Chains A and B, each alone.
Chain A
Amino acid sequence: MDKGLIRRGIRRCSTGQFLAWLTPWVAMLGFGVLAIGLCLVKGLNQTNMDNRFAFGLWIFLDLTIIALGAGAFFTGFLLYILRREELRAVINSAVVIGFICYSGAILVLMVDVGQPLRAWFTFWHPNVHSMLTEVTFCITCYLTVLAIEYAPIMLKNRQLRKVPSFLVFEFELHKVMPVFAAVGTFLSFFHQGSLGGLYGVLHGRPFAYREGFAIWPSTFFLFILSAIATGPAFVLLTTWMVSKVARKELVRKNVYSLLAKISGWLLIVYVGFKSIDTLVWLNRTAPLSGVSPIRFYAWAPFDIWLLFVEIAGFGLLPALIFLSPARRRSVPWMIAGSLLACAGVATNRFVMTIQTLAVPTLKFEPFMLYYPSWQEVATFLFVVAYGVILYSLSFRYLTLFPQERDLQH
């Protein structure tokens, strides 16, 4: 039925099978719409957040998907600026994933602000001294850049490319893509950093507070590093997952290997800096605040194991897997490494968001745990469903993996 929209020579499942695949995701989307509607109509009392836990599941997951979405800008940077041509095989998919991650994050933020109709205030009356203002401006601009990068991918759809003006616009857009790659890199650099800086400047919360360089706390740089280290791993992981779902090869193995290698080197640098930062924080920054750092890890379930798992299990281990040429010849090892790396960035964002707020700051404060309400979970599931649906449509009707046709026979 929709064969005319699918690129020639590319095999896709039947329309019926495709609709059957989409059905549960559409149901999940509907469930999310209900939850979002409740939050928008009845207010943030639908969530389990309060004045103490003002950042919850949404911010934790927003930060995680924004970090994983860094694969888009970093792949673009490597391809268009550093000319790593092998990455042309995954750039379209990386852009679509980046677009989904950022648009999903902004959507959740619109619900999270509680008063979405006043969201424009942050642009019209910006507090230029706030890291959050920088994040708001940067992610909005970057979503615009991602939409522009998405446009040529869409314009090359089999039917759209028949319109001559679309095709010439796509061609000309493609020529200026390095400019967008550079702008995207600049914007991503700052908003990834500012998301980290947001926590590092919290003087009142010694668990998060860090010293740094000039106006930027060390978390500013660590967030950038961790995002660009896991971005390629996430691109690798998603490519493999799509390949498994579609039951076909989408890229050559050397592309997986290159992504793993890039991720490995960046991860080892990240683990090095993260370890130094942790030691400085434990031995100098936290004691200067008048807090014994051991107190931070005195409450289950967030004991000291979480710190070791984050740095060694989800940082050093995937880095070693990726840096071993023998492991890079094995797709299962690379997938294992990618899963660990992605879990690492999620753990880091969890620690910075949830653990920071859970750990008491004052002696009379209790340790506090937070469980999200079903509305919070459903809102996030909305983003997951939205992402799967948009990616599925893009995969079916657009060229996300240019090597797919070459590898088909």
Chain B
Amino acid sequence: MFPGIYGFAWDAGHIIFLGIFYVVLMVVFATIAVAMRRAIRDSRTSRAEALRWHADFEDLPERWRRCRHELAGEIENRTCPNAFDCRHCVEHPLFVSARNGRPLPEGEPRVAGFEVPGDRLYHRGHTWVRPDPEGLLTVGLDDLGAHLLGSPDMIELPKVGSRVVANGTGWLAEKSGSTVRVLSPVDGEVVAVGAGDEGWYLKIRPDPAGSDMRHLLSPAEARPWMLREIERLQMAIATDAVGAALADGGVPVEDLSEAIPPERRDDVYGAVFLNV
């Protein structure tokens, strides 16, 4: 094994065989060391939230990773390659410029009984963002998200002064034993926290460079998306015996969670709030 150990000799057989063995060991352990060093660096630079979202996104079923431009009818079939972050997408500007300045059809502000107001932008994790006149961003749950969580058993909001990142954890809610991680729609510093009954959860001061919100859906994009989300919800709720079924009238109940079979509730929350 080593010089000085019984059986070792400085001959070609030992040098080649043990040399290759030690090189393999060095490659394995050096690679592990590199991965660990990078992991420590990532943890120190707060990349954990971004990496978590990327890992979660990769684990989402492909049919949930549809591009916003597919939902808006601008392309027939496209899986999002950028974890719903159009700020880094090279094709998003091409889709926008292909509209030639023509706005997308506005649609109705009420989609299958759920409100989609036109004064805010929407995140795919069912939160909305509304810029305030004083330069802050107000963040809340959209109507479908609010109906699904109803009155949560517990809410864990971030501390004032802490930082949130887009697609990272915005806040946590617990409902009927399930923990839901609501994704933050934007980057910035939390300056105030509210509660669901006030209609908003966070007030965020965007980074000094200004908040880039290209990844958020406009109301015109959010309306067809909401329709697709309701279909997705129906699929997630559907039992094997009945299959997917759409309501043919009425308005959504205040606390939709009560309508979900308890054994499916956790899966449904995961599906709607993009939690893996």
Known A-B contacts A8-B275, A161-B52; the reply to A172 vs B28 at CB < 8 A is no
Residue in contact with B38 in the complex, picked from A156, A172, A180, A402, CB distance below 8 Å: A172
> Closest residue of chain A to B8, judged by CB?
A125
Residue in contact with B62 in the complex, picked from A125, A133, A179, A406, CB distance below 8 Å: A406
B276 and A158 form a contact (CB under 8 A)? yes
> How many residues of chain B get a CB closer than 8 Å to chain A's CBs?
45
Known A-B contacts A8-B275, A9-B267, A176-B31; the reply to A126 vs B17 at CB < 8 A is yes
Stretch touching chain A among B43-51, B81-89, B221-229: B43-51
Residues of A with C-beta under 8 A to B209: none
A187 interfacial by beta-carbon distance below 8 Å: yes
Residues of B with C-beta under 8 A to A125: 1, 5-7
Residue in contact with B266 in the complex, picked from A8, A134, A187, CB distance below 8 Å: A8
Summarize A's interface: helix, strand, loop or mixed: helix
A168 and B47 form a contact (CB under 8 A)? yes
> Closest residue of chain A to B17, judged by CB?
A128
B27 and A179 form a contact (CB under 8 A)? yes
Cα A179 to Cα B62 in complex, Å, equals 28
What's the least CB distance linking A13 to chain B, in Å?
13
A48 interfacial by beta-carbon distance below 8 Å: no
Q: Compute the total of residue contacts between A and B using a CB distance below 8 Å.
A: 108
A168 and B31 form a contact (CB under 8 A)? no
Residue in contact with A170 in the complex, picked from B18, B21, B27, B55, CB distance below 8 Å: B55
A118 interfacial by beta-carbon distance below 8 Å: no
Known A-B contacts A8-B276, A158-B276; the reply to A165 vs B28 at CB < 8 A is no
Residues of A with C-beta under 8 A to B18: 126, 128
B28 and A144 form a contact (CB under 8 A)? yes
A171 and B54 form a contact (CB under 8 A)? yes
What's the least CB distance linking A105 to chain B, in Å?
19
Question: What sequence of 0s and 1s flags, for each residue 119-136 of chain A, a beta carbon within 8 Å of any chain B beta carbon?
Answer: 000011111110001100
> How many residues of chain A get a CB closer than 8 Å to chain B's CBs?
43
B43 and A164 form a contact (CB under 8 A)? yes
Question: What sequence of 0s and 1s flags, for each residue 367-409 of chain A, a beta carbon within 8 Å of any chain B beta carbon?
Answer: 0000000000000000000000000000000010010011011
Residues of B with C-beta under 8 A to A402: 59
Question: What sequence of 0s and 1s flags, for each residue 248-272 of chain B, a beta carbon within 8 Å of any chain A beta carbon?
Answer: 0000000000000000001101110
Q: Give B residues with C-beta under 8 Å from A.
A: 1, 5-7, 13-14, 16-18, 21, 24-25, 27-28, 31-32, 34-36, 38-39, 42-43, 47-49, 51-52, 54-55, 59, 61-63, 235-236, 238, 244, 266-267, 269-271, 275-276
Q: Give A residues with C-beta under 8 Å from B.
A: 3, 7-9, 123-129, 133-134, 137, 141, 144-145, 148, 156, 158, 161, 164-165, 167-173, 175-176, 179-180, 183, 186-187, 399, 402, 405-406, 408-409
**Would you give 17 A-B contacts (Cβ < 8 Å), ordered by A?**
A8-B266, A124-B5, A128-B18, A129-B13, A141-B25, A158-B276, A161-B276, A167-B55, A169-B35, A171-B54, A172-B34, A175-B35, A180-B31, A183-B28, A405-B61, A409-B235, A409-B244
